[in-house]
Amino acid sequence: MAEATPPPASRAGTKKALPEKFQNYRHVWVAMELEHGQVHSVSYELLGEGRKLADKRGVELAAVVMGDSREALHRAATNAFEFGADKVYLVCDPVLAHYRNEVATKALTDLVNRYQPEILLLGATNLGRDLAGSVATTLETGLTADCTELAIDEEGSLAATRPTFGGSLLCTIFTLNFRPQMATVRPRVLAMPEPVPGRTGTIVEHPLELAEDDIVTKVVHFVADRDSDKAQLAYADIVVAGGLGLQSAENFQLVKQLAEVLGAEYGGSRPLVQKGWITADRQIGQTGKTIRPRLYIAAGISGAIQHRVGVEGADLIVAINTDPNAPIFEFAHLGIVADAVTLLPALTEAFARRLSVNRLAG
């Protein structure tokens, strides 16, 4: 007799009825990240995804903007509408001039308690991670950090997928019995949506009832990070990266030389950070940066899963590896079986020649 096939894995039976106090939670929210009036691009990526989730749920998409400059907040709100928001919750107060966890947490949790969204998304940036954790703790709800995919399941819950067990598995996490369902997503994991110029919506202003005297943290002086705008890997059009196959820090210079000729950013696999060949902000992969360039050239990188998850959004992946069975060839669009130490200088020279001919002709 044939064995009965086990039923497919399901979360059926795990769901209790949503507690009464959460029954009215509706709509999808994106907490936009503004620092000194500048919106972080991850906010737009989240609005693009939030729009899809809201449409699937048949609810509104709202953005939250907080800061001290009314002008900057209105600019951010205009952008939020063009990137898909139907509504913007705006909190303008001098105490929000600089990011302080205590203040931002109060502003966002007050809004959530008042307007009750069912889903709340933030960027997994330094600021977003800090804020999401304290907001989730204050609201006593679940937070799924560093998601790689967001969806609405057949029962209408947020299905938040993220790597687990060192990136070797993906797990999908549900927050079934609490609201809002919170998730963070790293920059460049989601595609940038197309804005719709002129699209508008409603602005709801909300006061922040917090006096400077009641805030424990004080900003004495703001010093910009000297290196903060150096490695723009996440948003670069072309990235050249190296791995352990390059064998030495000296050989890694070949990656930098090719990057320079192409006007590209350079980066590398995690072991290179551990060896001190590159700084941590140039690590690409699960525990480094996620990139989405038009062209990614990987030299001497094996293509381990933790590296792959950070690069597979690239339009064109070119891999150079001496081992024809290297895992990177399974997802590269173009594979070159060659010694990178020999090939990189040849590529640099060829591109330099080609680009200077084009410049002269142009």
Nearer to ligand FAD, 214 or 339 (CB): 339
Using CB under 6 A as the binding rule, the residues of this chain from 165 to 184 that contact ligand FAD are 166-167
Count of residues near ligand FAD by CB under 6 A: 29
Interface residue with ligand FAD among 244, 256, 281, 345 (CB under 6 A) is: 244
Among the candidate windows 54-62, 65-73, 115-123, 314-322, which touches ligand FAD by CB under 6 A?
A: 314-322
Smallest separation (angstroms) from ligand FAD to the CB of 96: 33
Using CB under 6 A as the binding rule, the residues of this chain from 251 to 290 that contact ligand FAD are 269-271, 283-288
DSSP tag of 288: S
Cα distance between residue 79 and residue 312, in whole Å: 28
Interface residue with ligand FAD among 89, 321, 329, 335 (CB under 6 A) is: 321
Cα distance between residue 250 and residue 277, in whole Å: 9
- The H or E element spanning position 92 is strand 87-92
Interface residue with ligand FAD among 96, 124, 320, 332 (CB under 6 A) is: 320
Cα distance between residue 41 and residue 33, in whole Å: 8
Based on the shown chain and the rule CB under 6 A, indicate whether residue 330 belongs to the binding site for ligand FAD.
no
Based on the shown chain and the rule CB under 6 A, indicate whether residue 78 belongs to the binding site for ligand FAD.
no
Cα distance between residue 233 and residue 283, in whole Å: 9
Interface residue with ligand FAD among 50, 243, 267, 293 (CB under 6 A) is: 243
> Residue 54, class by beta-carbon neighbours within 10 Å (0-12 exposed, 13-18 middle, 19+ buried)?
buried
Query: How many CB atoms are closer than 10 A to CB 47?
Result: 28
> Residue 164, class by beta-carbon neighbours within 10 Å (0-12 exposed, 13-18 middle, 19+ buried)?
exposed
Q: Which residues contact 219 (CB under 8 A, 6 or more apart)?
A: 97, 98, 100
Q: How many CA atoms lie within 13 A of 284 on its CB side?
A: 36
Based on the shown chain and the rule CB under 6 A, indicate whether residue 237 belongs to the binding site for ligand FAD.
no
Interface residue with ligand FAD among 153, 194, 323, 349 (CB under 6 A) is: 323
Nearer to ligand FAD, 87 or 307 (CB): 307
Nearer to ligand FAD, 180 or 285 (CB): 285
State the residues that interact with ligand FAD by CB under 6 A.
166-167, 243-245, 269-271, 283-288, 300-302, 304, 306-307, 310, 320-323, 326, 339-341
